[in-house]
A and B are shown apart, each in its own frame.
Chain A
Amino acid sequence: MTDRARTWRGELREAVGDLTPGVALCLLFLIAVILVGAFAPWISPYDEAEILTNESFSSPNAEMWLGSDYLGRDVLSRLIYGVRITLFLALIITFLSFFAGVGLGFLAAAFGGRVDDWMSRLNDAMLSFPALMLALIVINSLGSSFVVLVFTIAFIDMTRVYRVARALAVNIMVMDYVEAAIVRGEGKGWIVWHEVLPNALTPLAAEFGIRFTYAILFISALSFLGLGVQPPQSDLGVMVKENMQAILYGEYTTLYPAFGIALIAISMNVLVDWLLQRSSAKLPDEI
């Protein structure tokens, strides 16, 4: 078994060796953001909801490193908690959408024929709705809560994931090794789990990164429109909206969360690009 462990560790070491400085920077940034989100209560200097000063949009100072917001709360603390909520929601949404999308996509590919046709046409119909509109309608009619938010966005994302997963699986299903498993008499479940999934993992991992980014943008957009996270809690989108006025007073308050969203999205994209490139143009390990 030592043989197996060695290759696993070797692969990790190899991946680290392939990192370019830019990709490494993005990776470090993302790790930092995740740590900040995870340990928000211990890191943030103040409580996110505590009103510390009468002054709206005060400039950065020794007590409040990024100044105060429109109610006089600490921007840095709110930023840290906002990252926590944004990341947490995005992660749950992406996991849910992948669980459902990949499962259904693989199912459609494994059964093919009628089943595939029906599922895929239904999915196409879903895809034809503009995503933001659909979300607005659902959330408006059900009222905004974490649960509604998560399931709505996860459902919309699922239709996208389904398409990718099905397309991947359809291509893998026609490979000779899948046919070999069919001739052996394997069931659909075994084939999907042992033959298809391992070969779809890399592109799916990349898709996960992209979907994760989109989920962040989607939540932020909804929050900005007032339908996402509700006060007193806040995420990055809410913060952008709340503090838009600051621009008029020459303060940067609203730009911090905006930059936060942008940096997370860009870093994730760089990382995904690198992952895809690495898997497609793999140089020979050894000759």
Chain B
Amino acid sequence: MTAPLLEVRNLDVSVRDKKGREFKIVDNISFDVQPGEVIALIGESGSGKTTISLACMGYTRPGCHIIGGTVQLGGTSVLDLDLPALQDLRGKDITYVAQSAAASFNGAMTIDAQVTEIPVITGTMTRDQALAKAARLYRDLELPEPESIGKRYPHQVSGGQLQRLMAAMAMISDPRLLILDEPTTALDVTTQIEVLYSFKKLIADNETAAIYVTHDLSLVAQVADHILVLKDGKMVEYGPTEQIIRNPQHDYTKALMAAAHLMPEEIHAPPALGAKEPPLLEVRNVTAGYGPAQDIIALRDINLTISAGETVGVIGESGSGKTTLGRLISGLMGAKQGGVYLDGKQLAPSVSQRSREELRQIQFAFQMADVALNPRQRLNKILGRPMMFYRGLSQSEATREVARLLERVDLPTNFAWRFPPELSGGQRQRVNLARALAAEPRLIICDEITSALDTIVAQQILDLLEDLQEELGVSYMFITHDIATVSKISERIAVMRHGRIVAQGPVNEVLTPPCHEYTQVLLNSVPEMRTDWLDEAVAERRRLVAALD
């Protein structure tokens, strides 16, 4: 056995709070990376996975300190290097691919200029050599028009392409170690597998060692040789990929497995609803768009009904118009043609023209709870306001109601006096839901409410949704890009693409073959928990996409 390329031993990182107390966020972590091997760091947000990967470059975020342990890269002790030596190391021997490529590229420079920047300014390659190398990498990453794509600016390529270009930037100086920090999390499911596939190929072709940071166990099974499971900065489980996914030892790993974005074994057939009952909400022949005359069409001929007490899933990639549909129903934008009907009565297109009673019945839950809750309002006000606004409760009645509501979403009642930033991501999402519930609505439009959450927390939110539906009989319109999630909780689903509903019906009918080609593309993108899935899925996806266009 050769000496490992990277050897991390007993790494401790701590952060200091205002009162000067030290708190360990990474506790006694040890692992090896062999040359040409990929190790995955997996855990929820706050588990210290990014902190560890940054520490491997000798870097800590402001406020953090490495207080113990060693990091050896090919015999050099990274943590003992001074800043100039570290600068020499970073970008050349160790490179980093960040989660959001869109935020990491400079919009005012061409892609080529940014990809070739490091080798050119450090003098390891001439500009022409670097450009030639870049073009070769573009081809390896299967980017379209590899000869000319580098002359474009970042906004002229798609998100998935940008993420791959960032990998090209990282690979151009032939690093010994590549760190990938959630490189596909910000991408659409169907794009994700293509990007993952090109990363895998690139790593294998160049025999680079890599650290892959993610929260998604099913994805990591496709690329990693070893998996290190983290929880609260501690090592939970560490072993070869096959062993971890076949035979997880620790309860936490098992929980991660259970919450992974997998298709359920069996799609439950929805209960037959009484056909004579009129639907709660109806969207009839709606066409809508953006721009002064709504001429940039975002929705075309949409027909959708939602009955009382049912969950309708709306799935599609970003840009498919699913969020626009939600905004249209809630009155944030008007339709060009067609209309929205509540109990058979047409709703006014805009919020300001609807009555308070109409507004109360349809509530909207936003995707990002951290920006959807005013950071300067206590929960008592955030939750109490809809009660006072719609139901005419007094302040003291609302305060009592808020306590009951908090209990209902499984939060402690003394949270009423807290501000949103004092809550965790999952707790905030519960508050976000509770605010919608505070109006006692009949329909809640849930816009990607689980996609920003860790898998385990997302599962808890889904469970809560189901409990609430059973108790209160509320309907959900569940907007998401995640077909696995939607198939677990919906009775009926609608698949959207380019502003149209391409398939719609009871969940088992829509998702069981033979189904629409696009539905198949989506289904095919749901990872399966086996190591050979990716290659098959990519081949299948390319065949399907070719048939679709």
Partner-B contacts on A (CB < 8 A): 3-4, 7, 14, 17-18, 175-177, 179-180, 182-186, 194-195, 198-199, 201, 281, 283-287
Contacts and interface: CB of A to CB of B under 8 A. Distances in A.
Given A3-B417, A179-B366, A180-B366, A283 B372 contact: no
Interface string B329-343: 011100000000000
- Give the top 9 A-B pairs by smallest Cβ distance, nearest first: A198-B376, A176-B372, A177-B374, A3-B417, A287-B23, A176-B371, A185-B359, A176-B366, A183-B364
Nearest to B331: A183
B389 A285 contact: no
Contacts of A198: 374, 376-377
B19 to A, nearest CB: 8
B302 interface: no
Nearest to B373: A177
A185 B377 contact: no
Contacts of A195: 374, 377
Nearest to B23: A287
A287 B374 contact: no
Nearest to B375: A199
Contacts of B366: 176, 179-180
Nearest to B374: A177
A3 B359 contact: no
B386 A283 contact: no
B18 A184 contact: no
Interface residues of B, number: 39
B63 interface: yes
Given A176-B366, A179-B366, A287 B376 contact: no
Contacts of A179: 332, 366, 372
B404 interface: no
Contacts of B359: 183-185
B23 A185 contact: no
A201 B376 CA distance: 10
Given A177-B374, A199-B375, A184 B389 contact: yes
The residue in A183, A194, A195, A283 that gathers the most chain B C-beta atoms within 10 A of its C-beta is A183
A18 B18 CA distance: 9
Nearest to A174: B371
22 contacts: A17-B18, A18-B18, A176-B368, A176-B371, A176-B372, A177-B371, A177-B372, A179-B366, A179-B372, A183-B359, A184-B439, A185-B351, A185-B389, A194-B381, A194-B385, A195-B374, A195-B377, A198-B374, A199-B376, A286-B19, A287-B21, A287-B25
Contacts of A183: 330-332, 351, 359, 363-364
A4 B417 CA distance: 7
Contacts of A182: 332, 351
B270 to A, nearest CB: 29
A185 B355 CA distance: 9
B435 interface: yes
Contacts of B351: 182-183, 185
Interface string B272-303: 00000000000000000000000000000000
Contacts of A17: 18
Contact of A287 (B17, B364, B389): B17
Contacts of B18: 14, 17-18, 283-286
A256 B182 CA distance: 62
B354 interface: yes
Contacts of A176: 366-368, 371-372
B404 to A, nearest CB: 18
B414 interface: yes
A175 B371 contact: yes
A194 B375 CA distance: 11
Contacts of A4: 417
A185 B356 contact: yes
Interface string B372-392: 111111000100011001100
B468 interface: no
Contacts of B373: 177
Nearest to A284: B17
Nearest to B436: A180
B282 to A, nearest CB: 20
Given A3-B417, A185-B354, A283 B17 contact: yes
Contacts of B368: 176
B388 to A, nearest CB: 11
A179 B368 CA distance: 12
B203 interface: no
Nearest to A180: B372
Interface in B206-259: none
Contact of A285 (B17, B331, B332): B17
B120 interface: no
A287 B377 CA distance: 22
A199 B374 contact: yes
Interface string B315-340: 00000000000000011100000000
Given A199-B374, A283-B63, A180 B17 contact: no
A195 B381 CA distance: 11
Nearest to B364: A183
B347 to A, nearest CB: 13
A208 to B, nearest CB: 18
B15 interface: yes
A201 B21 CA distance: 30
